[in-house]
Structure 1
Amino acid sequence: MPSSRPSLAELLHQPVRWRIVQALIGRTLTTAELAEHLPDVAATTLYRHVSVLVQAGVLTVVAERRIRGTVERTYAIGSGASDEGAEGVDPEQLRTMFTVFVAGLAGDLDRYLSREQIAPEHDGIAFRQSALLLSDEEFTEFVTALGQLLTRFSSNEPAPGRTRRIVSTVLMPDG
């Protein structure tokens, strides 16, 4: 019997949910802190989408504390933030997942471009494609090395002079 639980792609097809998850990449935030990162999203809308993501397991509550009669929750990306492996995804699901990914990137670029001043080179805006001729073994080595490099820098803590940057990758065979 098929699951009635929406896929990650279906959940993140909603732009506010995509932005909430993206804001939590590599860190934990309270709803108030999420609101600071998403100032254009109404509080009721933000709470509603956080609730949907928590119920689906995409977000998890990692801490709670009482403040003036209410409970402040701190969220992190949960174990439900991944779809099944490639074997469990059909071509249409993969297309939807990719479309959500690209649409999210386009929305991020639009928000960047809406700033009063932009400096793409200084801000580190970059996108490119490279073609690599690799055997399966070399590809595995490449992906492992890339993962190690990302892990090395993703453990950096916030500090003066550090800017949070999102690195997005797409790997696919040609032809």
Structure 2
Amino acid sequence: MANTPIADVVLHPVRLRIVQQLGGRHLTTAQLRAALPNVTQATLYRHVAALIDAEIVTVVDERRVRGTIERTLALGDRMAHVGHDDLEAMSDAELRNAFLTFLGALGDSFDKFVDGEDRTLRNYLGFGTTPLYVTTDDLAKIQAGLAELLAPYRTDSGDDRVRVALTTAVIPTPPTTDPDEN
């Protein structure tokens, strides 16, 4: 399964949620179960196994806990990024399904936040859309700059920082046609 396109593995609702939980940190299987309470243990373990097999998730530690082996998981060498080649290879229907899966996982994260107990975290909430006018070179420069800017914040340093999800979507606006040209 390691040769399976990342999109085929990651763009399943449960697997996407697992990858999102692991981003930048190591979690035990028990912590992952607690973070995804509406996913049954058997389903969670089945999808974790698929992600490990695809080298998207890796086991970074194992320890014996009450007669069983508890694994600590992290994102693997392949990382969990669906690249431009993967997106280009998708049919229109597959691309729509992938985007809806992404939006569904984003909605679940939002619901979990809104339903949470800690109201002070609302200070971290923000969402919006900003139009940009760019060339493809401009966009590549922006994406590289964002990656560089965010790199120091992608790993849990163990101090008092709060984990937030910064979600981006780059969606080109199709050109409009002038109604007078017809």
Q: TM-score, with normalisation over the residues of structure 1?
A: 0.79
Q: 1-side partners of 2:172 and 2:51: how far apart?
A: 32
Q: What's the counterpart of residue 47 of structure 1?
A: 45
Offset of 1:134 from its aligned partner?
1.4
Superposition pairs of residues 122-161 of structure 1, within 5 angstroms: 122=123, 124-155=124-155, 157-160=157-160
Decide which moves more: 132-141 or 63-72.
63-72
Give the Cα separation in 1 of the matches to 2:10 and 2:145. Answer: 31
- Please say if 1:19 is aligned against 2:17: yes
Q: Is the 8 A contact 1:9 1:96 kept in 2?
A: no
Cα distance change of structure 1 residues 118 and 21 upon mapping to structure 2, 3 Å threshold = same
Decide whether aligned partners of structure 1 residues 104 and 133 sit closer, same or farther in structure 2, where only a CA change above 3 A counts: same
Pairwise CA distance, 1:46: 2.7
RMSD of the alignment, in Å? 2.7
Deviation at 1:168, TM superposition (A): 0.8
Alignment pair present for 1:74 and 2:72:
yes
- Structure 2 unaligned blocks of 5 or more: 175-182
| Residue in structure 1 matched with residue 95 of structure 2 by the alignment | 94
Call closer, same or farther: CA 1:116–1:73 in 2, change over 3 Å: closer
Query: 1:120 Cα deviation (Å)?
Result: 6.5
CA contact (8 A) 2:59 2:71 kept: yes
Q: CA deviation at 1:11?
A: 4.9
Distance in 1 between the 2:153 and 2:6 partners? 30
Are the structure 2 counterparts of residues 58 and 66 from structure 1 closer, same or farther at C-alpha, using a change threshold of 3 Å?
A: same
Q: Percent identity?
A: 36
Shift of residue 39, structure 1, vs aligned partner: 3.9
Alpha-carbon contact 2:9-2:51 (below 8 Å) kept = no
CA distance in 1, matches of 2:89, 2:18: 26
For 1:17, give the aligned amino acid: R
Judged with a 3 Å threshold, the aligned counterparts in structure 2 of structure 1 residues 144 and 11 are, in CA distance, closer, same or farther, namely closer
For structure 1, the 5+ residue unaligned runs are none
Q: Per-residue displacement from partner, 1:68-124 (whole Å, max 9, x unpaired)?
A: 5432222112216344613322322221211111111111111222235645642x1
- Tell me whether 107-116 or 67-76 shows the greater mean CA deviation: 67-76
Contact 2:6 2:80 in 1 (8 A): no
Alpha-carbon distance, 1:156 to partner: 5.2
TM norm structure 2: 0.76
**Which residues of 2 match residues 112-123 of structure 1 at below 5 A?**
112-116=113-117, 118=119, 121-122=122-123
> Do the aligned partners of residues 49 and 135 (structure 1) sit closer, same or farther apart at CA in structure 2, a change above 3 Å counting?
closer
8 A Cα contact 1:20 1:50, kept in partner: yes
Q: Contact 2:9–2:54 (CA<8 Å) still a contact in 1?
A: no
Tell me the distance in 1 between the aligned counterparts of 2:156 and 2:53.
Answer: 30
